[in-house]
Chains A and B, each alone.
Chain A
Amino acid sequence: MLAGWLLAPALCWMGVFFVLPLALVFVISFASRGTYGGVEWTFSLANYLNVVDPLYLKIFLRSLTLALATTVLCLVLGFPLAYYIARLPVRWQGVWLLLVMIPFWTNFLVRTYAWMFMLRAEGLLNTLAMGLGLIASPIEILYSPAAVLIGLVYGYLPFMVLPLYAAIERLAPSVVEAAWDLYAPAWAVFWRVIVPMTKPGIVAGCLLVFIPSLGAFITPDLLGGARTMMVGNLIQHEYLVVRDWPFGSAISFVLMGLVLAGVMAYVRAEGSRRELEVRR
């Protein structure tokens, strides 16, 4: 009874301003578009069939590739950092964690702009590299997939480091020491001991990076140029440029499906972790 009263406000709010809008998008995704935009209420599956058109499929593939690459790069870069932090004296852990957090608290647009500033043809990196004689003519990085990848890794690295740190901190150093004492080779210590025991952190970090990367809008928009549109930009393009709301809605739902599939995988992984903890 009391629960009902406490829940009602939040539920109403989320019902009206979240579930209803989503339902609306779902309904509209089966309609078709008017000449100057707007929606014509004729039922069709055309929008969903359209999504598998090679043209759009390509965008989905590109987004998946970029998101995966971002995740892998974040993992490779973030793991040593997280491991290092987790093995520091507690006092220093806080300092390092805050250093990782500060960029996260800083405006995302500002962080993206920083890379626009660094990467232009006559920007700092090129000027420096040419001044040092490393390259003869400017490398064109801005407005390329590489620039988007850099921006995404930069933006989401903290999301990887924090859960990794939490997982590694829980891993008792004695376990790793034991492996060394038994003369396990380095690769075995890493792959057979550290990775399996920090798997939940790895999975969580990967998801926290993968989900926002997949739906990224700002980074490809500002750093991407002509050849790097991602799904997020495609949705914006459908809504605000060609004003095809029904098709934009269908794409949104497909994107949501992809992301939810990832989350399901996580929930399953999380479930097995709980089991593991219980058994321990």
Chain B
Amino acid sequence: MSRRRTWLLAASLGNLLFLYAPVAVLIVFSFNASRLSATWQGFTLQWYRVLAEDEALLAAVQNSLLVGLASTVIATVLGVCAAVALERCPFRGQRVVEGVLLLPLVIPEVMLGVALMLFFVSIQLPLSLVTVTIGHAAFNVPIVVVIVRARLRKLDPALEEAARDLGASAWQAFRCVTLPLLMPAILGATLLAFTISLDDFIVTFFTAGPGATTLPLKVYSMVKSTVTPEINALSAILVLVSMALVGASLVLQRKPVRA
């Protein structure tokens, strides 16, 4: 029994090492004084300074946040409405509608990218941040639908019915009873959509036009052309941001009601 446990623990720690070693190495070498970065030549913060002064990079961060926020808002509004409709008001042809709404989750991303590009070209909508946002919203709507619907399915319809019995209108019942109960799922979906938008490379790659360079596009061109410690520094920041977010959530997560 205990040998099995030891073996499992070793395998699990091996997994974690595999997941974290490359990232840890990146971060360590972001402080390396050597430009050629393969060997350690002393500590420096120089690369972070370079990063802070890189205006093109800051502009890319800005673009990413803009696209992320806009596409998330669109996807959340459309997705929540659709989820409620699908779950609460069954209708004929529902399976087809569900199919259309879920297909983007399973088709290869490259496909969505080229399809959108061809479409924008043929309706002569110039590629820009707008087209990128449209594309991101297109893959984010299904994500919101799935998450919110899963939550809705678990809610007891009796709660809303009780409110109706007590004289609330359909809208009041939804707003005062269902919506608050849905809120965690909605926020969760929003966050996921936002993260996926920030991280997306492929759809953006095909739909971005002049001045619409987002952070992933920028990182891609940096990684492709020159491997400099500047990219290590940028990576370190991105990794630490995601760790800080996840870590903070871990701390706060202990407070909520659930024992």
Contacts and interface: CB of A to CB of B under 8 A. Distances in A.
Q: Specify whether A and B are partners.
A: yes
Given A18-B100, A18-B103, A10 B19 contact: no
B199 interface: yes
Contacts of A28: 118
A217 B202 contact: yes
Interface residues of B, number: 84
Interface residues of A, number: 81
A10 B82 contact: yes
24 contacts: A3-B89, A7-B97, A13-B78, A13-B141, A17-B134, A18-B104, A24-B122, A28-B118, A80-B15, A87-B8, A102-B242, A108-B216, A109-B219, A110-B219, A111-B22, A114-B23, A115-B22, A120-B38, A215-B109, A215-B111, A218-B201, A222-B224, A235-B114, A252-B114
A6 B231 contact: no
Q: What are the 5 tightest A-B residue pairs by CB atom distance, in nearest-first order?
A: A215-B108, A3-B89, A114-B22, A21-B115, A80-B11
Contact of B137 (A17, A252, A255): A17
Nearest to A1: B89
Given A211-B106, A217-B110, A157 B15 contact: yes
B219 A154 contact: no
Contact of A109 (B20, B206, B223): B223
Interface string A79-118: 0110111010000001110111111011111111111111
A34 B125 CA distance: 22
Contact of B100 (A3, A15, A123, A217): A15
Interface string B225-255: 0010001101100110011011101100100
A157 B108 contact: no
Contact of A113 (B118, B201, B235, B246): B235
Given A13-B74, A14-B100, 9 more contacts: A3-B86, A21-B119, A25-B111, A25-B114, A124-B25, A222-B223, A248-B114, A252-B111, A263-B106
